[in-house]
Amino acid sequence: MINRMLQGGAVAALAAVVLLWAACEVEREIPEHDPAVVPPPGAEVVLPDTTPEGLWRYLEEIDYADSWSHWPRLPEFYPGTEPHGQLLRTYANGIAMPHIEAGLTGDLPHSSMIVKENYTEGRELDSYSVMWRIEEYNPEHRDWLFAKYGPDGVAEEFGRVESCQECHAGAETGYIHTRAPR
């Protein structure tokens, strides 16, 4: 009986070591600045300044396409509609993604960001569309900042873009037209 207890204790200790090692490995795989990780409640969220250049620089620095999640349950490229590309790829940051995965039943939280890559039918990048929800930025339109960048990262439209505001105001859920997972 003592033998069994010792064996059980050894197995438990080995399991604890494996779990601790795995936890350490996970921590090393997620960079500290990774915005795809949902910040803990009360944590300071570091976001870019609200200029076209600041937002673009931020998206480049964090490499959103690698650090954010692709919109759930959509193929890598999916059909788009005007004024976006014929094919689209959409990403959301870690602040927005839990709400999207839960079915997007209301407004996304402030600091949510969405990047939509707009492609031609031949899969040539045409532009980027960005939505960023900033507290008290644009109360008439649920605090969304809209931006459109050319493939070179130069802003073509930025801020309270009237055509974006009008279109997204007609969305069924929280100014978002892209369908939520079902």
The pLDDT tens digits of the residues spanning 146-182 come to: 999 999 999 999 988 888 888 888 888 888 888 766 6
Per the rule left: phi > 0, alpha: psi between -120 and 50, beta: everything else, 8 is: alpha
Confidence of residue 39 (pLDDT cuts 50, 70, 90): low
Integer Cα distance of 126 and 84 in angstroms: 9
Q: What is the pLDDT of residue 29?
A: 33
3-state secondary structure 148-178: EECCCCCEEEEECCHHHHHHHHCCCECCECC
User: What residues does 117 pair with on adjacent strands?
Assistant: 89, 128
Confidence of residue 116 (pLDDT cuts 50, 70, 90): very high
Residue 6's SS3 state is: helix
**23-37, 49-63, 70-84, 89-103: segment of lowest average pLDDT:** 23-37
Q: Is 60 exceeded by the pLDDT of residue 132? A: yes
* pTM as predicted: 0.74
Q: Is 90 exceeded by the pLDDT of residue 27? A: no
Confidence of residue 25 (pLDDT cuts 50, 70, 90): very low
Whether 100 and 36 have beta carbons less than 8 Å apart is answered as: no
Integer Cα distance of 90 and 130 in angstroms: 10
Q: Is 70 exceeded by the pLDDT of residue 136? A: yes
**38-42, 138-142, 169-173: segment of lowest average pLDDT:** 38-42
Of 123 and 16, more confident:
123
